[in-house]
A and B are shown apart, each in its own frame.
Chain A
C-alpha cells in the first residue's frame, strides 16, 4: 500500500495544507495541483514583465520550508508548478536546496508547450478546431498567447523511476499526478485500462484538495467538524486498483460516502467517458463503501483504452473587462439598485460607448442563481436590508472600458439615495485571456523527461 496526498487544489489554496500533509501523519507522495487554465495566463503576464518568472513561486517557498522534513520522512513531491517555465522553477528549487546544503534530485516533465509550433501544425492540416464550437483556430490565431498539451501520468512515472525526489511538470492532466506514483510503484502497464482508470478516479477524488474531505460539502455542512483545521485528502492505494480516501487523524473535516460523491461529480461530463491522456474511465462503475471513520473505500472501477489524442489548451487575448459595485440599503434597496443600473446604462449610451456586453447582477436579491425561482417575492422585496449593484462591461476597446470605470463612483452623489461605495475605489481594467480547447494527435508531440541532480 502507498499513501498519496494532495496538498493543493489550485494555485491560491491554503499555504499550510501541504505542510500539514507532510508533518501530521504518514504519506509517501505529496501531489500539488497549481495549474487552473486561468493560472497559465497569469503566469504568462508575469513572464512578460520578468523573463525569470512564469512558474508557481509559492511552490519554491514551500519546498524551501519543508525540505528537511521531506528528507527525514522520504516523501517525494509531484507538482505541476512549472507552469510556462518549468526550468526556471527547477533552478529556483535547486538553488534553495543548495542554500540549505541539502542534495536534491529534481526531475522535469516538459514538451507540453507547443506555442511555437502552431503555424507548422496548421500548415500540415492539423486544424486545432475548437472542441466545443468546431471553429477553426484561424479565427483567433493572431490573438494566441500560448498553447499547452495536457500530458498523462507515464512521463511523471518515468521521472520517479529515475529517482527524482521532486518532479516538476508543465501541463499534465490533474488526475495524472496521483496516478503516476501508482504506475511507478505497482508496475502498471499502458494497457491496464481498469487499473489506470482506478488511479484516475483516485486523482479526480483528491485533485481539488479539501473539496472531498468536507470542504464546500453541501450535505449537512453545519455538522462537519472543525473546518478551521480541515484535513486534506490522502489516497491509500493498493496494487490491484482498489484504494481508500482518508485524511490524517486529528484533523478537521469529514470523509464520508456523501462528501466523496459530491467531489466525484465535480466537473465531469458523460460519466461513462471520463477522457484522460492515459485511459477513458467509467465513473458508473465506481463502488463506494464507508470503510471506517473518515475512510471511504473505492472498488470495481473499470475503464477503456485511451484515445489517440491529447487535449490542448490554447490561451488568447479577447478584449478587456471591468466590474464596478455599489451597495444600496433599506428601504427599497432593490428598487434603488435597479434604478441606478438604468441610470448608468443611459449615461454609457449618452457617452456613445459601445460594449460587447453590459451585465448587471443584484447581489442579495438574485445575483448568483439568476433563475426565476430565486427572484424575491413582491412581499419580501421592499424589505431587503441591502442589495449590491454589480455591473460589468466587456469590449475590444480598452478606452471604452476605462471610461466605464469613471461612471460608478459619481452615482453615490448623483443617483438614488442610501448608497455606499463599499470602499472599493475605482474599478480596475483587466485584459481578458480566454481559452480554446482543441485536440492534437499524440504522435505529434512527445513528453521530455529529465533529471537534474544538485551540484552539492
Chain B
C-alpha cells in the first residue's frame, strides 16, 4: 500500500465563507469550493477546533450545523461580539470579517485529495 502523504492546507484553499451577526452571536457559513471536499470540512473543521481558533474572541460555545445539500457547514459562535451590535466597541461590530478569520485555519488533508 502506498504511504499516505498528509499535508497542511489553509481552509481558504478549499473553502469560501460569509459571516454575519445576530445579537451577541456570529454565524459563519463555510462552503466547500468543490463538492468532493465537503467531507474534509466535516472531518477537520469541528466545533471544538473553531472554538480554539477564535480563542479570546468567542467567549461562549460554538455550535455546528451541516448542510450537505450546499456542501457547507454553519457555525454559531456565542458571546462573540462584545455584547453585540450597537453595544460593541469592536472594529468589526457585526462580525462581517469572521468569515476570513476562519479561512486562516490550517487543516490536514490527504496529499492525493488536495
- A residues sitting closer than 8 Å to B (CB atoms) are 37-38, 41, 132, 216, 218-219, 258, 261-272, 283-288, 318, 321, 323, 357, 359, 361, 363, 367-374, 390, 392-394, 432-435, 437
Asked whether, in the complex, the Cβ of B22 is within 8 Å of the Cβ of A269, the reply is yes
Asked whether, in the complex, the Cβ of A369 is within 8 Å of the Cβ of B100, the reply is yes
A408 to chain B, nearest CB (A): 14
Q: With the chains together, A287 CA to B97 CA distance in Å?
A: 27
Q: With the chains together, A438 CA to B89 CA distance in Å?
A: 24
Q: With the chains together, A272 CA to B22 CA distance in Å?
A: 17
8 Å CB contacts to A: which residues of B60-81? Answer: 65-72, 74, 76
For residue A287, which residues in chain B have a CB less than 8 angstroms away from its CB? 69
Q: Which one of B19, B29, B72, B89 contacts A323 once the chains associate, using CB atoms below 8 Å? A: B89
Asked whether, in the complex, the Cβ of B70 is within 8 Å of the Cβ of A264, the reply is yes
Asked whether, in the complex, the Cβ of A261 is within 8 Å of the Cβ of B86, the reply is no
- B residues sitting closer than 8 Å to A (CB atoms) are 16-25, 27, 29, 31, 33, 53-57, 65-72, 74, 76, 82-87, 89-92, 96-101, 103-105
A205 to chain B, nearest CB (A): 12
Q: With the chains together, A191 CA to B22 CA distance in Å?
A: 28
B42 to chain A, nearest CB (A): 14
For residue A437, which residues in chain B have a CB less than 8 angstroms away from its CB? 23
A174 to chain B, nearest CB (A): 13
Asked whether, in the complex, the Cβ of A371 is within 8 Å of the Cβ of B53, the reply is yes
For residue B33, which residues in chain A have a CB less than 8 angstroms away from its CB? 219, 258
Offer 26 A-B interface pairs, CB within 8 angstroms, sorted by A. Answer: A38-B85, A216-B18, A216-B96, A218-B99, A219-B33, A261-B70, A261-B72, A262-B16, A263-B18, A265-B18, A266-B18, A268-B74, A284-B67, A287-B69, A288-B70, A321-B89, A323-B89, A357-B82, A359-B82, A367-B91, A368-B101, A369-B104, A370-B56, A373-B101, A374-B104, A394-B87
Q: With the chains together, A48 CA to B16 CA distance in Å?
A: 44
Asked whether, in the complex, the Cβ of A267 is within 8 Å of the Cβ of B69, the reply is no
Asked whether, in the complex, the Cβ of B31 is within 8 Å of the Cβ of A371, the reply is no
Q: Which one of B19, B56, B66, B83 contacts A372 once the chains associate, using CB atoms below 8 Å? A: B56
Asked whether, in the complex, the Cβ of B67 is within 8 Å of the Cβ of A258, the reply is no
Asked whether, in the complex, the Cβ of B87 is within 8 Å of the Cβ of A373, the reply is no
Q: With the chains together, A371 CA to B29 CA distance in Å?
A: 18
Asked whether, in the complex, the Cβ of A359 is within 8 Å of the Cβ of B23, the reply is no
